[in-house]
Structure 1
Amino acid sequence: MASTHTTDGASADKNGVPPGKPMSLGTHVLDKGAQMLQSLKPIKQMSQHACTFAVYGQDMSRQIETHHYMTRINQDFLQCAVYDSDDTSGRLIGIEYIVSDRVFDTLPPDEQKLWHSHAYEIQSGLFVHPRFPEAVVKPELENLAKTYGKFWCTWQTDRGDKLPIGPPSLMMSPQEDIQCMVKPELVKKREDKYNISTAAIRGSRTDIMGPGRLNAMADYWREHKKCLAVEVESTEKKKITIFP
């Protein structure tokens, strides 16, 4: 990919490799030793790999393939580390939190605006578990179709950023609405990679239902035709009170 974005000299080269020296022998030894001696318990709790697509809330023409490495905290809450690929060179580009419709309905309206629904993403076959039998994962898909997610993208590798630049971007899920439909070329590229048929997957999910009532505050852009974005601004620092 050619360099498409420049911020303080941090635009990516054609390989998208972050700036820095090659890893030294000492660093390799340290990493191997840590893998053997440290528990890394939170990482080992990641139990699912899901591949789907996401859309930038502030620019829906920008769409990316995402790889979610999911940890289930309980039946109503998951946390995901999101990468731009499932290769060894995959870059951590954000985080997504996923809650059940039951939990989502308890959130304040201003918080609900930041979340998106997953029903269409599941039902359309866009959300898949690569190399995992569809029949085995179907009960999990039925649960996920009733969930909502909040996904912050912290590294915009799709525009060529070599480093995580600027504030996080709030991401949206694909929808049937023409503004938020995934580009066919992205779907085709993934189909070729995993040798899958999105149309066939969609056909096998006709009985998967979303929430009984899709909360109107989710997918905020659909109803209000506006995006929600983070802007960095200078603010006064809170004073520290020192007690005698």
Structure 2
Amino acid sequence: MAATHGKTVAHGGEEIPPGKPMSMEQHMLDKGAQMLQSLKPIKKMNQHVCTFALYNHDMTRQIETHHYVTRLNQDFLQCAVYDSDDSSGRLIGVEYIVSDRIFETLPQDEQKLWHSHAHEIKSGLWVNPRVPEMVVKPELESLAKTYGKFWCTWQTDRGDKLPMGPPALMMSPQAEELGIVKLETVKKRDDKYNMSTEAIKSSRAEIPVPERINTQADYWKKSGKGFAVDVEATEMKKIAAFP
């Protein structure tokens, strides 16, 4: 990506997304709104996590993701997911994270849409960029027992300049597929943040693996099938006419 005359452009020279540069009036409105409005939900985002995800219906497609995390309580987190941590990063989806205690209360059909986080944590794929491991270690021990449901709403990896089509369910890399995330993809991230995923993995050896990971999660592992969302026309529930 590069900036040209205030526009964000792709390497091929096309603006992504399409649109005119912001006007001075729009910049002024944004600055004024920042001073006058509370923006409380956004200010509750207190962690940046970088990890990798795969499309549930197409394991050949894998993306680096940047989660901006809000913890609502000990059992529930919500994440706004971007395709980068640059100022021009695009909001590509949302992930909800629940504790194992909450996950066990979900209906089985619902559990099939969720993925476990144990391998993602233990393998070093899940990182908090620029935050020392000793600081995040207690949080990681808790996250290793959690489950996530991640919907991607903007498939920028296939070149979509705008959010197109229905959302796609995403999944997390799992232990049986250690090579599932391409080495060059991990190396690119390591170089960006001046870190070693392998070293991080070694430092997390003592993080305990959950005694039980619910087999309904990561459903593709036992079924060999993914989930894809389609859009179909349906009869609308109409608002009653005014008297």
Pairs within 5 Å for 1:1-244: 14=12, 17-178=16-177, 181-241=180-240
Kindly indicate whether the alpha-carbon contact (under 8 Å) linking 1:174 and 1:180 is maintained by their aligned counterparts in 2.
no
Give the 3 Å change call, closer, same or farther, for CA 33–179 of structure 1 in structure 2: same
User: What is the distance in 1 between the residues matched to 2:106 and 2:37?
Assistant: 37
SS state at 1:202 partner: helix
Letter in 2 for 1:114: L
Give the 3 Å change call, closer, same or farther, for CA 125–13 of structure 1 in structure 2: closer
Letter in 2 for 1:57: N
Gaps of 5+ in 2: 2-9
- Aligned-residue sequence identity (percent) comes to 73
Letter in 1 for 2:112: K
Question: Number of residues paired by the alignment?
Answer: 234
CA-CA distance at 1:176 after TM superposition: 2.3
Letter in 2 for 1:229: A
User: What is the distance in 1 between the residues matched to 2:18 and 2:179?
Assistant: 33
Kindly indicate whether the alpha-carbon contact (under 8 Å) linking 1:69 and 1:81 is maintained by their aligned counterparts in 2.
yes
User: What is the distance in 2 between the residues matched to 1:179 and 1:32?
Assistant: 46
Q: What are the Cα deviations for residues 25-47 of structure 1, in whole angstroms up to 9, with x where unaligned?
A: 11010001011111100000001
Kindly indicate whether the alpha-carbon contact (under 8 Å) linking 1:119 and 1:211 is maintained by their aligned counterparts in 2.
yes
User: What is the distance in 1 between the residues matched to 2:28 and 2:182?
Assistant: 43
User: What is the distance in 1 between the residues matched to 2:16 and 2:189?
Assistant: 22
Kindly indicate whether the alpha-carbon contact (under 8 Å) linking 1:13 and 1:162 is maintained by their aligned counterparts in 2.
no
CA-CA distance at 1:209 after TM superposition: 2.0
CA-CA distance at 1:178 after TM superposition: 3.0
User: What is the distance in 2 between the residues matched to 1:183 and 1:96?
Assistant: 22
Gaps of 5+ in 1: 2-11
User: What is the distance in 2 between the residues matched to 1:139 and 1:34?
Assistant: 37
CA-CA distance at 1:238 after TM superposition: 1.7
Which segment drifts farther, 209-218 or 223-232? 209-218
CA-CA distance at 1:243 after TM superposition: 9.0
User: What is the distance in 2 between the residues matched to 1:206 and 1:179?
Assistant: 16
User: What is the distance in 2 between the residues matched to 1:85 and 1:72?
Assistant: 21
Q: TM-score, normalised by structure 1?
A: 0.92
CA-CA distance at 1:94 after TM superposition: 0.2
User: What is the distance in 1 between the residues matched to 2:201 and 2:226?
Assistant: 29
